[in-house]
Amino acid sequence: MVEAFEIYVGGTLTEDAKFNEKLKGKIEADDLGDVLVNFLQRVQEEKLPGETFQQYYLRVGRDSLQETLDKTLNEKQQQKV
């Protein structure tokens, strides 16, 4: 058994509360740090000045973040081959 993690995005506890949405893809524990760094670097590069992560998420959408995760996981998989 391999220890793995999942990424959830988009939830909020504001008056417009909503649950997180899970991005598809299991992240092996050994890869978690690199995957999160790549994921958060993209957010930092694309986020508008003063924009919260929730605002960013609503602007770019779940599918866009899923594409980023897919690309990162594919790159990690190729490095292992």
What residue ranges do the domains of the chain occupy?
A: 4-80
Q: Does domain 4-80 have CATH number 2.40.40.20?
A: no
Q: Mapping DSSP to helix (H, G, I), strand (E, B) and coil, where does residue 61 land?
A: coil
Distances (CA, A) of 67 to 10, 16, 62: 15, 26, 9
pLDDT at position 78 is 87
Q: What is the DSSP letter of 16?
A: T
The closest of 11, 65, 62, 20 to 38, measured between CA atoms, is 65
Per-residue pLDDT of the chain (81 residues; tens, 9 = 90+): 889 999 999 998 988 889 999 999 999 999 999 999 999 999 999 999 999 999 999 999 999 999 999 999 998 888 887
- Rounded-to-integer distance, Cα 45 and Cα 63, Å: 17
- Rounded-to-integer distance, Cα 54 and Cα 66, Å: 15
